[in-house]
Amino acid sequence: MAQKEKKSKYPESSLRAVILSAFAENPFTPYNAKQMSHILHINTKPDRELIYHLLVAMTQEGLLYEVKRGKFRLNPKQLEKFSKKKKYLTGIVDLKKTGKAYIMPDDGGDDIFIAPNNVRHALNQDHVKVLLMPKRQGHKTEGQIVEILERHKTQYVGILELSKDYGFVIPDSQSMPYDIFVTKENIKSAKNGQKVLVRIADWPEHSNNPFGEIIEVLGTPGENNVEMMSILADNDFPLSFPKAVEKEAEKIDAGITPEVVAERKDFRDVWTVTIDPVDAKDFDDALSLKKIENGLWEVGVHIADVSHYVTTGSLIDAEAFNRGTSIYMVDRTIPMLPEKLSNGVCSLRPNEEKLTFSVVFKMNEKAEVLDTWYGKTVIRSDRRFAYEEVQDIIDSGSGEYSEDLLKLHSLAEILREKRFKNGAINFHTPEIRFKLDEKGKPIEAYVKETGTANFLVEEFMLLANKAVALHIGKPENKKPPKTFVYRVHDQPNPEKLNTFLQFLGKLGYSLNIQSHEALARSYNKLLQDVKGKGEENMVESIAIRTMAKAYYSTDNIGHYGLSFPYYTHFTSPIRRYPDLMVHRLLERYLEGKNSAKKEDFEEKCKHASEMERRAADAERESIKYKQVEYLLDKKGKIFDGLISGVSKWGIFVQISESKSEGLVRFSTMKDDFYYLDEDNYQIIGRRYGQKLRLGDPVKVIVKNIDLASRQLDFELVDEF
């Protein structure tokens, strides 16, 4: 007698729904029938066979598709049907070297953890859509990336490792955990061990590595020029100007005709100077001073009239917009404009007639502004000063043009005092500078001092920026404000501020948060109190991170840090594209024209803010590289330092001389077994109870240097 065939105990309709739901939970993961049976806790042969037949049928219906023989996954078109039942959010990827990631949600909520197997080919800073998973008690909210909405970048710098028929580019970036596979035909002329720029061209679904093509060979790792160009390329900055842009710049006529002068206010006979760093080549701004009736002063802030030469729609303008800003590396400046303009035609060089856009203030001896004029001008600078020269005049009270410079200084000091009294916060991060040899190797490191000569220029630039923003932005007769580009800065996030307060309390500091003015005063006192102490770097860093980031926007919310209700950037159009936009808008409105389209300028503001961030990253990376390179020939040398951080791996120490920071690992501290007391920012020896706290002075010896990854290892010397 034939054995009766066993049938599945599950109704097909119910099983189909459960299978579809399981695929929807992991929409990018392929499963075979056996794996799906395991997920559904089904272990009988008839049930497994039914699952296989259902997988095939659902594929034919378009619900699934077969990735490879016997392996199925959800058809992406089906995702939308589940979106109403599932919770999704969008955000920016913070990808770690380990392959795991965190998502910073667009709505500003808590970050979301993404396990490596759920990252789905997303890369650092990509904009993605995330499916939220059910929250497990005691764990961070977890998610799965289901869609890459926008790639942040597709080009990476790295070192090429060649095999016979293919190669891999090992990226420099610590936030790029994947090597990039390059086929033989896409290697082009690159040689093994060279540093290259590679573009990701494809990333097959089942490949662990993206596929790329080499688009530029940068050269031999370790060479100064190669490393600086690598930093620029890795931050997506062009390494040269297109030939068409250079040709357009060469055709610009630098001559100033009588007709052009006749249309402008003439300041050529008014005493005017520029004050800049000693190595500056592009002079954006000049100051003029003239004594007028009734003991009043006319102070002119004259800014290079770049918009006269760089017209909307030109190739130069498009290139300047794409770059967004000039970049100031340790050993070079990468200008926003071609050199003919940045260092020549537009630069306010002494004893040359120059076209400018000016804000002219009528002031009394108390630095009170009684009247302000805005318009196009022509100037001739009498003298180019370096900050150091002006500082000597301020300190000694004598020197060339000392009377005029000292008057500007006294007015600036009053403006500065008023600004801080009104709630401005005095953030000042020390700048590390290097003296380089002919090959670009750092032979000396020092901290650049900021003196009152810098403040002299700063106060009048701030005054001009504020005045221009107020002139356009302040509502008139209940009319809607005209479209304008503002430099805005929001107030601190309350949660971040509370975290910062707790951190300060453990270090013995405090802040008064009763009002904006009280907070500003206590911030300034705090920054003064930590000056020169070990915790200075960390306190200032966290203080700055507690603050919102300044950015460009057509929506004015004021500038919290400066305590200005209206503020913009008008004073540096040679090196910042937003200033060029402001010049054009100011000219438009001074001529009585209608408001510009808000949407057009808001998009440009977002781009400018992003390029500013990238430039800051590139500048920081070039400094970090030189800080590590400076110590290359100093292995075994002892340095004074301060404990700048504590972690589960050891303590971070910042060398006082170069501000280079390295790690002292617990494993090298032989006198005791130390553990981290995270709450009190210290480590404690288990046997002897010795404490090493954030800010403590220590001596360290340089043990290991990894220039490629910018990492330093120190050991403590004569610990106790």
Compute the distance between CA of residue 574 and CA of residue 359 in angstroms, rounded to an integer.
Answer: 17
Compute the distance between CA of residue 321 and CA of residue 318 in angstroms, rounded to an integer.
Answer: 5
Enclosing domain of residue 131: 87-150
Compute the distance between CA of residue 510 and CA of residue 314 in angstroms, rounded to an integer.
Answer: 53
Please indicate, yes or no, whether residues 306 and 183 belong to a single structural domain of this protein.
no
For residue 179, being part of any structural domain is answered with: yes
Does residue 618 contact residue 330 with C-beta atoms inside 8 Å?
A: no
> What CATH number does residue 186 fall under?
2.40.50.700
For residue 698, being part of any structural domain is answered with: yes
Please indicate, yes or no, whether residues 405 and 256 belong to a single structural domain of this protein.
yes
> What CATH number does residue 107 fall under?
2.40.50.140
Write down the number of H helices and E strands in the chain. Answer: 19, 33
Structure tokens at 287: 């100051």
Q: What is the pLDDT of residue 5?
A: 45
Structure tokens at 526: 């705090």
For residue 231, being part of any structural domain is answered with: no
Please indicate, yes or no, whether residues 469 and 616 belong to a single structural domain of this protein.
yes
Compute the distance between CA of residue 282 and CA of residue 151 in angstroms, rounded to an integer.
Answer: 35
Strand partners, 64: 74
Please indicate, yes or no, whether residues 250 and 327 belong to a single structural domain of this protein.
yes
Please indicate, yes or no, whether residues 390 and 295 belong to a single structural domain of this protein.
yes
Please name the helix (run of DSSP H) or strand (run of DSSP E) that holds residue 337, with its range, or none.
none
C-alpha count within 13 angstroms, C-beta hemisphere, residue 556: 21
Strand partners, 91: 105, 128
For residue 455, being part of any structural domain is answered with: no
Contacts of 528 (CB under 8 A, 6+ apart): none
What is the per-residue burial (b if ≥16 Cβ within 10 Å, else e) of 366-393? ebeeeebebebbbbbbbebbbbebbbeb
| End residue of a domain, out of 580, 599, 623 | 623
> Which residue shows structure tokens 């800014």?
303
As for how many domains the chain has, the answer is 6
- To the nearest 10 degrees (0 to 180), the angle between helices 598-630 and 315-323 is 60
Structure tokens at 506: 């453990």
In this predicted model, what pLDDT tens digit does every residue of 387-437 receive, in sequence order? 999 999 999 999 999 999 999 999 999 999 999 999 898 877 778 899 999
| List of E strands, 209-352 | 211-219, 265-266, 272-276, 285-291, 297-304, 327-328, 333-334
For residue 56, being part of any structural domain is answered with: yes
For residue 200, being part of any structural domain is answered with: yes
Compute the distance between CA of residue 167 and CA of residue 196 in angstroms, rounded to an integer.
Answer: 12
Residue 69 to residues 38, 48, 73, 75, Cα–Cα distance (Å): 19, 17, 12, 16
For residue 430, being part of any structural domain is answered with: no
| End residue of a domain, out of 80, 102, 120 | 80
Q: What is the pLDDT of residue 369?
A: 97
Please indicate, yes or no, whether residues 536 and 677 belong to a single structural domain of this protein.
no
Q: What is the pLDDT of residue 2?
A: 41
Does residue 548 contact residue 560 with C-beta atoms inside 8 Å?
A: yes
Helix/strand/coil for 116 = helix
Does residue 488 contact residue 553 with C-beta atoms inside 8 Å?
A: yes
- To the nearest 10 degrees (0 to 180), the angle between helices 452-473 and 577-590 is 50
Compute the distance between CA of residue 90 and CA of residue 92 in angstroms, rounded to an integer.
Answer: 7
Backbone phi, psi, residue 369, to 5°: -85, 120
Does residue 287 contact residue 405 with C-beta atoms inside 8 Å?
A: no
Q: What is the pLDDT of residue 461?
A: 98
Please indicate, yes or no, whether residues 271 and 327 belong to a single structural domain of this protein.
yes
Of the candidates 213, 227, 135, 294, the one whose C-alpha atom is nearest the C-alpha of residue 440 is 227
Name the DSSP letter for residue 108: -
Does residue 710 contact residue 718 with C-beta atoms inside 8 Å?
A: no
Query: Identity (one letter) of the amino acid at 322?
Result: N
| End residue of a domain, out of 150, 168, 197 | 150
Of the candidates 407, 453, 174, 375, the one whose C-alpha atom is nearest the C-alpha of residue 291 is 407
Please indicate, yes or no, whether residues 375 and 469 belong to a single structural domain of this protein.
no
Of the candidates 340, 333, 339, 336, the one whose C-alpha atom is nearest the C-alpha of residue 320 is 336
Structure tokens at 429: 């991060």
Please indicate, yes or no, whether residues 289 and 338 belong to a single structural domain of this protein.
yes
Of the candidates 327, 280, 328, 322, the one whose C-alpha atom is nearest the C-alpha of residue 304 is 280
Compute the distance between CA of residue 673 and CA of residue 686 in angstroms, rounded to an integer.
Answer: 6
Which stretches of the chain score pLDDT less than 50? 1-5, 720
Q: What is the pLDDT of residue 84?
A: 54
Please name the helix (run of DSSP H) or strand (run of DSSP E) that holds residue 49, with its range, or none.
helix 45-60
Q: What is the pLDDT of residue 9?
A: 58
Name the DSSP letter for residue 693: E
Three-point CA angle 672, 675, 678, nearest 5°: 145
Does residue 559 contact residue 419 with C-beta atoms inside 8 Å?
A: no
Q: What is the pLDDT of residue 131?
A: 87
For residue 419, being part of any structural domain is answered with: no
Compute the distance between CA of residue 617 and CA of residue 539 in angstroms, rounded to an integer.
Answer: 20
Please indicate, yes or no, whether residues 355 and 260 belong to a single structural domain of this protein.
yes
SS3 content of the chain, % helix, strand, coil (to 5): 35, 30, 40
Q: What is the pLDDT of residue 81?
A: 65
Written as one string, the DSSP assignment of 582-604 is: HHHHHHHHHTTPPPPPHHHHHHH
Please name the helix (run of DSSP H) or strand (run of DSSP E) that holds residue 196, with its range, or none.
strand 195-202
Query: Identity (one letter) of the amino acid at 582?
Result: V
Contacts of 369 (CB under 8 A, 6+ apart): 361, 362, 363, 463, 467
Please indicate, yes or no, whether residues 608 and 643 belong to a single structural domain of this protein.
no
Please indicate, yes or no, whether residues 355 and 483 belong to a single structural domain of this protein.
no
Of the candidates 295, 413, 306, the one whose C-alpha atom is nearest the C-alpha of residue 355 is 306
Name the DSSP letter for residue 293: G
In this predicted model, what pLDDT tens digit does every residue of 460-473 receive, in sequence order? 999 999 999 999 99
Name the DSSP letter for residue 174: T
Strand partners, 131: 88, 144
